Amino acid sequence: GTAPLPPVVARLAGGRVVRAVWRNDLGGVTFAIGGPDAGGRPVEFVKTGPGDHAAEAARLDWAGRYLAVPRVLGFGPGWLHTAALPGRSAVDPRWVADPVRAARAIGTGLRVLHDNAPVGDCPFDWSVRTRLAGIRPAARAGLGAAPAVDRLVVCHGDACAPNTVIDADGRFAGLVDLGALGVADRWADLAVATLSLGWNYGEQRKEECEGELLGAYGLQPDAIRLDYYRRLWEAPESDSG
């Protein structure tokens, strides 16, 4: 759809073609700044609206040492400006039409992140303890005890399908939207990634795609950890969270 063009986006575009491409759950809008090529493929993006954009910029700068993520071009109150990655989102119509290949790319991307970003050097946290502090007390009590950690990794923090970028050949090309990146059990990411498959590719393909995602990652399903981290993901935040 359409969205009002914030002055900061118009300034950053400098007369280039701009279009709104994504609205998140918080009402924030991401704008694409088109390139000079005939196809008008975006070369930059500007995320606007609620969120700690300085914190996301710091995470992108850190993660960019180890894998393909958007390069930060600038940020300020209410906006984050990044260079585009080559490829398309895993929920682009091209990949919604081929969800099995998309699921494999998502699983591969999470494995690349988890294997290459060093836990010992990561200054960011996404642990169960940190996340529990931000949800409502009643929901916290209802979750029960967290399962033992399988493997601590640097997690994406919002590993839903739209945040994987895939190249023209169906291969993993990069990750976006790393505002919650931090150290946690790898199943915290895998639970969210597999949960999102039904939302984005249809419940009738969810089981098949889940198997492909976990297979590409190199794991068999862990029902206990998947269940806990999905419930934690869906737990309502506290009023101050």
Residues designated as active site: 158
- Report the b/e string of 117-146 with b at 16+ CB within 10 A: beeeebebebbbeebeeebeeebbeeeeeb
Q: What is the DSSP string of 2-68?
A: -----HHHHHHHTTS-EEEEEE-TTS-EEEEEE-SSTT--EEEEEEESSS-HHHHHHHHHHHTTTS-
Both structure tokens of 94: 């091209």
Sign of the four-CA dihedral 33, 158, 78, 139: positive
Contacts of 28 (CB under 8 A, 6+ apart): 47, 48, 49, 50, 51
